[in-house]
Each structure stands twice: as structure tokens, then as C-alpha cells.
């Protein structure tokens, strides 16, 4: 993947006063994005196994999963300030001590900040499908990036991806099946995981009559 082509557009939606206040008051849950050295995950998570989420949006799935699994650590990547603020509000409201945020371009941050074989799992729910053909080059989940994030998984660590765009799902599945470090847990697309919360993007897909395509792989 050409890392000079961004998988997102630098546009900020409205950031509420509450979200800005959360960022000011709960900054300790934001890990500084220093891409000059690898992150010592144990500094933030102790001995917990760590699961990363790529592009957590407004953080609904992130905090609900973290709340259900206090024995695990959750590291969310998001570029948009509104989403960061929203998740920080949830972290504070639910008194979560196992959830941290990196506000940066995940395509740059994961390769440069996350040590190889350090993650127990990676979630990527409803990534931007960039549906117009001329924008397909902006899609994040391309073979080179999938290989990069696979290297960050521990042996038997999992990669869980969900999209509501069938053509993108086919493209992702082909890349996953072609990655020699990954093994498909299912025969084709995965069954919905009961522990994954229904998010706004999932609801929007349902309202539009689109199915969700789920993929669940493990590192060999």
C-alpha cells in the first residue's frame, strides 16, 4: 500500500464541548503518538493481553467490549477528535482502566509503534469502503497493510473484520486468504460473533438493506 495515499480525509465534524472537556480532563488515556520507537504496551496494560481496534469511530463497540472484559487491554486507533472525545467520555463514565487511545493514522502508527507478536487480537469494524472505483486506492485493508498488522499478532492471535460492502468484503477476503501467516477459522465468511455490539454503522447498513460480511482469521 502506498502510505502517501491516506485512507481517510482530514475533516473534523463538530466536536462538542463535552468531548473537548473529556480530552482535557482524561488525557492520561491518550498515548502520545511517537512513531520514533516501539511502544512498551506493558507500561499501560501491565500483563493484560492487548487487543487493538482500527478506526473505532465513536467508540461504542470499543467501550462495550472493554467493559465486558476487564481482564484484557484495549487500544483504539482513531484520527477524528470527536470520536476520541466520545470514547473518553465513555471511559470516564464507566470507569474503565483497561482502554487507551492513539489518535493518529493507523497505517503509519501500527507499523512504527506496535511491536511484532504483541497483540492478542485486532478488530476492524466497518472500515470506509471508498465505494467509487477511482477511490479504491484509499482503501485501508489492502494486502500490504494486512501483512503489516498480521505481524503484530501473537501466534494464534485473531484478526476480526466486518464490512457491509460486498465488493470490498471480497477484496479483503482475497487478501486474507493470500496472507501466509493467517488461517481462516471458518469455511469462508464468519458467523457473527455474539460479543460484538451493534454499532451505528451496523444499524445504518441494516436500514439500507445491506448485509454485513464478517471475517475471522488467526495467526499461524
- As a whole number of angstroms, the distance between CA 103 and CA 31 comes to 8
Distances, alpha carbon 180 to alpha carbons 46, 124, 150, 219, 220, in Å: 31, 20, 10, 9, 8
- Confidence band, pLDDT 50/70/90 cuts, at residue 122: very high
Q: In the chain, how many domains are there?
A: 1
Q: Does 53 show up as a binding residue in the annotation?
A: yes
Write down the mean pLDDT value for the chain.
Answer: 91
Is residue 2 domain-resident? no
What pLDDT, in 10s, does the model give residues 5-21?
554 455 556 889 999 99
Task: From 96, 48, 41, select the one nearest 71 (Cα to Cα).
Answer: 48
What pLDDT, in 10s, does the model give residues 126-148?
998 877 888 688 899 999 999 99
Is residue 5 domain-resident? no
Q: Does 164 show up as a binding residue in the annotation?
A: yes
Residues contacting residue 16 through CB under 8 Å, at least 6 positions apart: 82, 85
pLDDT value of residue 9: 52
**Please, are residues 99 and 29 in contact by the beta-carbon 8 Å criterion?**
yes
Is residue 111 domain-resident? yes
Is residue 9 domain-resident? no
Given a cut of 60, whether residue 83 has pLDDT beyond it is: yes
As beta bridge partners, residue 214 has: 162
- State mean pLDDT over 9-36: 86
The yes-or-no answer on residue 128 being catalytic is: yes
- As a whole number of angstroms, the distance between CA 150 and CA 159 comes to 8
Q: Does 78 show up as a binding residue in the annotation?
A: yes
Catalytic residue among 104, 116, 128, 207: 128
pTM of structure:
0.90
Is residue 132 domain-resident? yes
Is residue 214 domain-resident? yes
- What CATH number corresponds to the domain at position 204? 3.40.50.150
Is residue 47 domain-resident? yes
pLDDT value of residue 12: 59
Is residue 125 domain-resident? yes
Residue span of the structural domain in which 98 resides: 17-219
What pLDDT, in 10s, does the model give residues 43-66?
999 999 999 999 999 999 999 999
**Please, are residues 91 and 58 in contact by the beta-carbon 8 Å criterion?**
no
| Strand-by-strand arrangement of the 153-163 sheet | 99-102, 73-77, 50-54, 119-125, 153-163, 213-219, 182-184
Q: Does 49 show up as a binding residue in the annotation?
A: no
Amino acid at each position: 500500500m502506498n502510505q502517501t495515499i491516506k485512507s481517510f480525509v482530514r475533516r473534523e465534524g463538530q466536536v462538542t464541548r463535552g468531548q473537548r472537556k473529556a480530552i482535557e480532563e482524561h488525557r492520561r488515556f491518550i498515548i502520545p503518538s511517537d512513531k520514533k520507537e516501539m511502544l512498551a504496551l506493558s507500561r499501560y496494560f501491565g500483563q493484560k493481553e492487548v487487543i487493538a481496534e482500527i478506526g473505532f469511530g465513536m467508540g461504542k463497540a470499543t467501550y462495550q467490549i472493554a467493559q465486558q472484559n476487564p481482564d484484557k487491554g484495549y487500544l483504539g486507533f482513531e484520527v477524528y477528535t470527536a470520536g476520541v472525545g466520545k470514547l473518553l467520555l465513555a471511559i470516564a463514565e464507566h470507569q474503565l482502566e483497561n482502554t487507551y487511545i492513539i489518535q493518529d493514522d493507523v497505517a503509519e502508527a501500527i507499523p512504527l509503534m506496535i511491536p511484532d507478536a504483541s497483540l492478542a487480537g485486532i478488530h476492524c469494524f466497518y472500515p470506509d469502503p471508498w465505494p467509487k472505483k477511482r477511490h479504491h486506492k484509499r482503501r485501508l485493508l489492502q494486502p500490504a497493510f494486512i501483512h503489516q498488522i498480521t505481524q503484530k499478532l501473537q501466534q494464534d492471535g485473531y484478526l476480526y473484520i466486518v464490512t457491509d460492502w460486498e465488493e470490498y468484503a471480497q477484496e479483503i477476503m482475497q487478501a486474507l486468504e493470500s496472507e501466509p501467516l493467517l488461517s481462516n477459522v471458518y469455511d469462508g465468511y464468519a458467523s457473527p460473533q455474539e460479543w460484538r455490539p451493534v454499532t451505528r454503522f451496523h444499524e445504518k447498513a441494516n436500514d439500507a438493506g445491506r448485509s454485513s460480511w464478517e471475517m475471522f482469521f488467526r495467526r499461524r
